[in-house]
Amino acid sequence: MENLHKSVMINEIISFLPLTKSINVIDATFGGGGYSKTILEKFNVNQLLAIDRDPISKIFAKEIETNFLNFTLINDKFSKIDEIVNNTGFKNKKFDIILFDIGISSNQIDNAQRGFSFNKSGPLDMQMGSSDKNAYDIINKYEEKNLADIIYQYGEERYSRVIAKEIVKNRKIKFINNTIELSNIVKNCLPKKNQLKSKIHPATKTFQAIRIYVNDELSELKKSLEKTLKILNKDGLILVVSFQSLEDRIVKDFFNHNSGKRWRSSRHYPELPDKLATQLKIITKKPILPSASEILNNPRSRSAKLRVAQKI
Ligand X SMILES: C[S@@+](CC[C@H](N)C(=O)[O-])C[C@H]1O[C@@H](n2cnc3c(N)ncnc32)[C@H](O)[C@@H]1O
Residues that bind ligand X (CB under 6 A): 5, 7, 29, 31-35, 51-54, 57, 77-79, 101, 103-105, 128, 220
Residue 195 Cβ vs ligand X, minimum distance, rounded to whole Å: 27
Beta pairing, strands 71-74 & 45-51: parallel
Q: What is the largest CA-CA distance in the chain?
A: 64
The string of DSSP letters for 36-104 reads: HHHHHHHS-EEEEEEE-SSTTHHHHHHHHHHH-TTEEEE-S-GGGHHHHHHHTT-TT--EEEEEEE-S-
% helix, strand, coil for the chain, step of 5: 45, 15, 40
- Residues found in the chain: 312
Comparing every residue's Cβ against ligand X, the nearest one is: 31
Residue 170 Cβ vs ligand X, minimum distance, rounded to whole Å: 30
If we measure between CA atoms, which residue out of 45, 91, 38 comes closest to residue 71?
Answer: 45
Q: Select 26 or 190, whichever has its Cβ closest to ligand X.
A: 26
Q: Select 82 or 166, whichever has its Cβ closest to ligand X.
A: 82
Q: Select 34 or 202, whichever has its Cβ closest to ligand X.
A: 34
Residue 180 Cβ vs ligand X, minimum distance, rounded to whole Å: 23
Q: Select 103 or 122, whichever has its Cβ closest to ligand X.
A: 103
Residue 291 Cβ vs ligand X, minimum distance, rounded to whole Å: 17
Helix, strand or coil, per DSSP, at residue 237: strand
Distances in Å between the Cα of 64 and the Cα atoms of 50, 75, 205 are 11, 15, 35
Angle at 97 between CA 92 and CA 98, to 5 degrees: 85
**Bridge partner list, 98:** 26, 238
Residue 15 Cβ vs ligand X, minimum distance, rounded to whole Å: 16
Q: Select 101 or 157, whichever has its Cβ closest to ligand X.
A: 101
Q: Select 100 or 159, whichever has its Cβ closest to ligand X.
A: 100
Looking at residue 19, the DSSP 8-state letter turns out to be S
Residue 133 Cβ vs ligand X, minimum distance, rounded to whole Å: 14
